Structure 1
Amino acid sequence: MVDTVPGSGVTEPPADLIRYVVGTTGLPPGVAARVVSDVLAYFGETVEEFVRRRHSELRRKRVPNADIWPRVGAELAARPIRAPALSERQLRRIVYG
């Protein structure tokens, strides 16, 4: 569980997870805490945030929408915390809705 630091709006990653990362990687505790925080933030994205971010990234690379929707759907299905299966129409509505 991630604890919120009172009054800061910042979340603290679990201390046992930081200790685990320090023990398995040899990283200093401060660096391990930052890495854990970054990973938790990445996987803490909502489905909508993920879809919008990936759509923007792929459009910047000039990937056509016809290729983006199946790719984003597959990426959602492969995430550790799976999102519900979304149709191309639902994905488009998230981005353009």
Structure 2
Amino acid sequence: MYVDPHLVRHVRESAGLTAAEAERLIGDVLAFHHETVEEWVRRRHHELQGTGARNAEIFTRLRHELDGHVVTAPDLSERQLRRIIYG
């Protein structure tokens, strides 16, 4: 898994960690959030159903939660990357 060296430096400096500790911490956080949007939605839907929530409430809540949730980016092809950059 790629860890951005700028992020490692930022975490190291702001938290007073060694580079190895910062890298491990970032890796742990990224691993925790290593779900696709689809996987996350299915998991959260199931969890919320288990609390007795109805779909109308669940869907509103999922949209709200996704707004601030980190999920794994899709695996983009070179063509898709080019379209993002050049339109």
User: What is the TM-score of this pair, normalised by structure 1?
Assistant: 0.53
Tell me: CA distance 1:30–1:63, structure 2 relative to 1, closer, same or farther (3 Å).
farther
Q: Distance in 1 between matches of 2:15 and 2:47?
A: 30
Partner of 1:20: 10
Structure with more of its chain in strand, by fraction: 1
The Cα RMSD (Å) is 2.6
Match of 1:70 among 54, 60, 64: 60
Q: Which runs of 4+ in 1 moved over 4 A?
A: none
Cα distance in 2 for residues equivalent to 1:31 and 1:57: 33
Deviation at 1:80, TM superposition (A): 6.4
Q: How far off is 1:17 after superposition?
A: 1.5
User: What amino acid is aligned across from residue 29 of structure 1 in structure 2?
Assistant: A
Question: Going by fraction, where is helix more abundant, 1 or 2?
Answer: 2
Aligned position for 2:23: 33
Q: For structure 1, which runs of at least 5 residues remain unmatched after alignment?
A: 1-10, 82-97
- Give the C-alpha shift of residue 75 in structure 1: 1.8
The size of the alignment, in residue pairs, is 70
Q: Give me the whole-angstrom Cα distance separating, in 1, the residues matched to 2:49 and 2:17.
A: 36
What are the superposed Cα offsets for residues 15-62 of structure 1, whole Å, 9 maximum, x if unpaired? 3311210100113433322221233341x5322012012112323333
